[in-house]
């Protein structure tokens, strides 16, 4: 115990020593004039304030210390709300080993890149909902570098410690950010990173000597959280989407692979991160769904033979099956290859490699011999009070909705398993700012700190498909959405650019938005410090608003009494005023009557809001379709025999192993896992 204590103080001393040598925020400032394309932006105020560069993971004089590359975006237009100005989002892409510049320049970032390699503004950038920091990690990913010893992280526990080191040094460079509410966000294999990083932050905050990080929520898109069980979702999901049919001549091999995975999970009780028997299901599925000839017997174009594992609406060449996606990827490489861009981001072009999306050395080393899949630590994170939002594009195969919802059904937290009958369900709509058109964006489920959001017509990379709609995910967490309650159900409406805190949409629900009462509630809400994650506190704010209105009315009454005394004094000292006093008295009586009626109305409204809020669902709840019946997962695949009617042997060779730069093999890619089959 003494040794551990000594090691702890040594670590703190080392952190203090190398943090003293760090640069200031101004040293990391990025000039937009140095980035190709931004000089053509007509309104410079729309260009975000940017910071970028390397932050070391240890003492800078230690040659074995790696560096994380970050790129931060801060809204410079003045449109951001107070909540946004107090929110800090760290975005992480997956892989493992895939650069978060995917997120910065193709998804939730403030910029997009055109085919000429030039940057332009992304209207749906998340930076208007909070400062967003994109981080290349683990070391060796993107522009992040390993030390001279070329040591790569092999376990999620190592990655977590290094990310914690990065955070401590980041907050040394940007001390004002330490007071902000922190959100960890990302997608795919970040479904492993984010829960582990959250646990590391919670452990850090429990240490008296440590700098506290104000972590509030986790936002995980199409997360890869339980490789084995999510892999078991592939076949039922493929049947659900019509990708495979009964009687397919190659179906038997696919079902046999499913059986191997399920039997492995039933018989093996070790804590291995993943099993190859489960990893191989996706590869076989992509082979089974391969189409080489059309209905007329003609050869299909080679680039259209295989279903894209990240977006089932698209096709790709075989065996890539999505590895050549998304289409914007070459644009990003061209942007970073433009002369001067690397230097503008405060990088040494001689010390960092040419940018490529993913690094196979990172994925090859990160085998997790010690760590279990992150699904095992999600319950404790939920029970800590953190909000966890799992959002999923419904067109993704590799980390599909069915697998994630089944994962949720198997989780136990706060004394319950999965979503219960108390789960709250909302339809989710999106409203365009200019046209006021409202379209269906998805649905939301919520219970006990856990939110599941299904995003309609979206792929594995939700913000890539529609960044404006995806930004509504942050709005849902921040409660910056409109709640419409009707007999047919409850609906959440997010807008392309939501109102700021001076006119909060939710504080006027159930009240005429043009009324004095609504404006009073909105004014009071703008001055109230609201914790974004707690529905109960929202209720408390409504009650406080009503009490404040009563106080204001009382003050108005006192002021009126003072006015009356002044009028009476004027009557005694001025006969001319006495002549005009009668109309003044009548006017005063009317004012008193109005004030009395206002007080009564305020009391009635207060009681109404109090009882209504107590007995109706809170906004923070958002989850399950009540029309969907839950089914028990079977622990065997005996049902599969019914599907093998007329199924022949699998004659084509299995899916070849191919890597997408840093993505894992098609059979073992970041989103590969296991999931149990329903009764089809």
- Show the tokens assigned to 79: 């449109």
Whether residue 257 has pLDDT greater than 80? yes
* 511 pLDDT higher than 60: no
Global confidence as pTM: 0.74
Residue 123 counted as domain residue: yes
Q: What pLDDT score was predicted for residue 384?
A: 96
Q: Tokens 């930004």, residue?
A: 471
Q: Could you tell me the pLDDT band of residue 650, with boundaries at 50, 70 and 90?
A: very low
Query: Which domain does 217 fall in, by range?
Result: 25-226+346-495
Residue 267: predicted pLDDT: 81
On whether the CB atoms of residues 56 and 18 are closer than 8 A, the answer is: yes
**SS3 state of residue 177:** helix
**Domains contained in the chain, number:** 1
Residue 397 lies in a domain: yes
Active site residue: 311, 460, 480, 507, which one? 460
Mean pLDDT to the nearest integer, 375-398: 97
CA distances from 111 to 120, 475, 567 (A): 6, 20, 64
CA distance 144 to 352: 8
What mean pLDDT do residues 92-96 have?
A: 95
Q: Which of 75, 177, 396, 490 is the catalytic position?
A: 396
Separation of alpha carbons 296 and 14, rounded Å? 70
| Mean per-residue pLDDT, 23-45 | 94
> In this predicted structure, what is the pLDDT of residue 22?
66
Cis peptide before 13 (omega within 30 of 0): no
Residue with tokens 């998805």: 442
> What 8-state DSSP symbol labels residue 309?
T
Q: Is residue 645 part of a domain?
A: no
Tokens representing 347 are 């990088």
Torsion angle defined by CA atoms of residues 605, 608, 613 and 614, in that order, rounded to the nearest 10 degrees: 140
Whether 666 has a pLDDT exceeding 80, the answer reads no
> In whole angstroms, how far apart are CA 405 and each of 300, 625, 631?
35, 12, 12
Token pair of 653 as six digits:
């060779």
405 and 603 Cβ atoms separated by less than 8 Å? no
> Where are the extended beta strands (E) located within 487-574?
489-495
Phi, psi of 50 (to 5 degrees): -130, 145
662 contacts 141 by C-beta, under 8 angstroms: yes
pLDDT at 247: 77
Residue burial 579-609, b: 16+ Cβ < 10 Å; e: rest? eebeeeeeebeeeeeebeebbeebeebbeeb
Confirm if 194 and 101 have CB atoms less than 8 A apart.
no
Which pLDDT score is estimated for 40?
A: 93
pLDDT band of 589, cuts 50, 70, 90? low
Q: Does residue 660 lie in a domain region? A: no
Q: Which CATH number goes with the domain that contains 34?
A: 3.40.50.1820
Listed residue (387, 435, 443) closest to 413, CA to CA: 387
Q: 516: pLDDT confidence band, cut at 50, 70 and 90? A: very low
Residue 587 has what pLDDT? Answer: 56
State the pLDDT at residue 593. Answer: 65
Q: What is the mean pLDDT of residues 636-664?
A: 37
Q: pLDDT tens, 189-223?
A: 999 999 999 999 999 999 878 889 999 999 999 99
Instruction: Identify which has the larger pLDDT, 185 or 671.
Output: 185
| Whole-angstrom distance, CA of residue 181 vs CA of residue 472 | 18
With respect to residue 568, please indicate whether it lies within any of the assigned structural domains: no
Provide the CA 139 distance to its chain's centre, in angstroms: 23
Mind listing the pLDDT tens digit for each residue in 316-372?
A: 999 999 999 999 999 999 999 999 999 999 999 888 989 999 999 999 999 999 999
Look at 627 and 567; give whichever has higher pLDDT: 567
Max Cα-Cα span within the chain:
112
Residues across the chain: 680
Paired tokens of 190: 């970040």
Bridge partners (DSSP) of residue 452 are: 390, 445
- Predicted local distance difference test score (pLDDT) of residue 644: 41
Question: Once rounded to an integer, what is the mean pLDDT over residues 526-549?
Answer: 42
Higher pLDDT, 605 or 309: 309
Separation CA 317–CA 323 (nearest Å): 9
Q: Is 85 helix (H, G, I), strand (E, B) or coil?
A: helix
Peptide bond between residue 138 and the one before it cis (omega within 30 degrees of 0): yes
CA distance 672 to 65: 32
Residue 612 above 70 pLDDT?
Answer: no
Residues 6+ apart with CB under 8 A from 619: 479, 481, 483, 492, 506, 535, 538
Could you read off the pLDDT of 44-91 as tens digits, one per residue? Answer: 999 999 999 999 997 766 777 899 999 999 998 888 888 889 999 999
Active-site residue flag, 502: no
Q: Which residues contact 329 (CB under 8 A, 6 or more apart)?
A: 106, 357
Share of the chain above pLDDT 70, in %: 69
Q: How many CA atoms lie within 13 A of 411 on its CB side?
A: 29
Q: Looking at 108, 188, 231, 363, which residue is catalytic?
A: 188
Quote the CA–CA distance of 453 and 389 in Å, as a whole number: 7
CB 480 within 8 A of CB 496: no
Which residues have CB under 8 Å from 627's CB, separation 6+?
none
> Is 40 one of the catalytic residues?
no
Chain mean pLDDT for the chain: 78
pLDDT attached to residue 530: 38
The candidate with the shortest Cα–Cα distance to 122, out of 328, 355, 394, 342, is 328
Rounded to the nearest 10 degrees, the angle between the axes of helix 516-526 and helix 581-615 is: 70
- Residue 319 belongs to a domain: no
**Residue 464: which of 233, 164, 185, 124 has the closest Cα?**
124
Residue pair 309/282 in contact by the 8 Å Cβ criterion:
yes
| 149 in any annotated domain | yes
460 is catalytic: yes
Q: 121 burial class (0-12, 13-18, 19+ CB within 10 angstroms)?
A: middle
CB 254 within 8 A of CB 261: no
Task: Characterize the bridge pairing of strands 181-187 and 215-221.
Answer: parallel
Query: Is residue 410 assigned to a domain?
Result: yes
Q: Which of 1-15, 24-38, 525-539, 554-568 has the highest mean pLDDT?
A: 24-38
Q: Which residue has the higher pLDDT, 5 or 592?
A: 592
The position carrying tokens 């493929």 is 238
Distance CA 542, CA 42 (A): 42
135 membership: H or E segment, kind and range: strand 131-136
């Amino acid at each position: 115990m003494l040794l551990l204590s000594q090691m702890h103080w040594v670590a703190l001393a080392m952190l203090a020593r190398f943090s003293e040598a760090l640069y200031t925020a101004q040293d990391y400032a990025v000039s937009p004039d140095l980035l190709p394309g931004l000089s053509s932006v007509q309104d410079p105020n729309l260009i975000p304030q940017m910071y970028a560069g390397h932050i070391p993971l240890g003492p800078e004089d230690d040659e074995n210390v790696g560096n994380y590359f970050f790129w931060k975006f801060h809204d410079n237009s003045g449109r951001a709300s107070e909540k946004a100005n107090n929110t800090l989002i760290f975005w992480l892409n997956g892989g493992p080993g895939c650069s978060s510049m995917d997120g910065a320049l193709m998804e939730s970032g403030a910029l997009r890149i055109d085919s000429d390699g030039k940057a332009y503004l992304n209207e749906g950038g998340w930076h208007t909902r909070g400062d967003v920091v994109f981080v290349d990690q683990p070391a060796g990913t993107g522009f992040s570098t390993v030390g001279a010893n070329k040591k790569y992280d092999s376990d999620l526990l190592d990655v977590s410690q290094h990310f914690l080191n990065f955070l401590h040094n980041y907050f040394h460079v940007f001390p004002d950010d330490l007071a902000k509410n922190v959100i960890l966000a990302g997608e795919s294999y970040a479904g492993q990173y984010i829960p582990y990083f959250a646990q590391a932050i919670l452990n850090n905050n429990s240490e008296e000597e440590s700098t506290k990080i104000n972590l509030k929520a986790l936002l995980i898109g199409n997360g890869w959280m339980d490789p084995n069980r999510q892999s078991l979702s592939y076949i039922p999901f493929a049947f659900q989407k019509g990708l495979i049919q009964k009687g397919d001549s190659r179906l038997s091999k696919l079902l046999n692979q499913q059986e191997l995975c399920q039997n492995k999970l039933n018989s093996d009780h070790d804590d291995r991160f993943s099993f190859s028997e489960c990893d191989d299901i996706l590869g076989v599925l992509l082979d089974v769904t391969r189409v080489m000839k059309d209905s007329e017997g003609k050869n299909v174009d080679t680039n259209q033979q295989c279903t894209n594992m990240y977006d089932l609406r698209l096709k790709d060449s075989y065996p890539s099956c999505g590895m050549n996606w998304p289409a914007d990827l070459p644009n990003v490489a061209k942007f970073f290859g433009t002369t001067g861009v690397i230097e503008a981001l405060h990088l040494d072009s001689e010390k960092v490699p040419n940018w490529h999306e993913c690094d196979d050395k990172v994925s090859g080393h990160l085998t997790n011999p010690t760590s279990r899949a992150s699904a095992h630590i999600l319950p404790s994170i939920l029970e800590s009070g953190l909000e966890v939002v799992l959002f999923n594009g419904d067109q993704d195969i590799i980390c599909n909705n069915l697998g994630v919802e089944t994962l949720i059904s198997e989780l136990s937290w706060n004394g319950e398993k999965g979503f219960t009958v108390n789960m709250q369900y909302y339809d989710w709509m999106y409203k365009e700012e200019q046209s006021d058109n409202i379209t269906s964006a998805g649905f939301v489920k919520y219970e006990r700190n856990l939110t599941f959001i299904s995003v309609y017509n979206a792929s594995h990379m939700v913000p890539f498909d529609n960044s404006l709609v995806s930004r509504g995910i942050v709005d849902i967490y921040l409660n910056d959405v409109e709640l419409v309650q009707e007999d047919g159900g409850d609906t959440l409406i997010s807008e392309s650019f939501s109102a700021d805190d001076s006119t909060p949409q939710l504080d006027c629900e159930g009240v005429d938005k043009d009324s004095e009462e609504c404006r009073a509630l909105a004014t009071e809400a703008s001055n109230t410090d609201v914790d974004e994650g707690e529905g109960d506190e929202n209720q408390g704010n409504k009650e406080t608003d009503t009490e404040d209105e009563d106080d204001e009315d009382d003050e108005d009454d006192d002021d009126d009494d003072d006015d009356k005394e002044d009028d009476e004094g004027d009557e005694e000292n001025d006969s001319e005023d006495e002549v005009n006093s009668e109309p003044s008295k009548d006017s005063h009586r009317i004012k008193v009557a109005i004030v009395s009626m206002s007080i009564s109305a305020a009391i009635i409204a207060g009681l109404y809001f109090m009882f209504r809020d107590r007995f109706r669902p809170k906004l923070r709840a958002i989850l399950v379709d009540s029309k969907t019946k839950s089914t028990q997962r079977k622990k065997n695949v005996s049902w599969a025999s019914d599907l093998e009617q007329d199924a022949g042997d699998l004659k084509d060779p299995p899916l070849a192993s191919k890597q997408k730069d840093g993505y894992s093999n098609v059979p073992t890619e970041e989103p590969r896992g296991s999931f149990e089959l329903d009764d089809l």
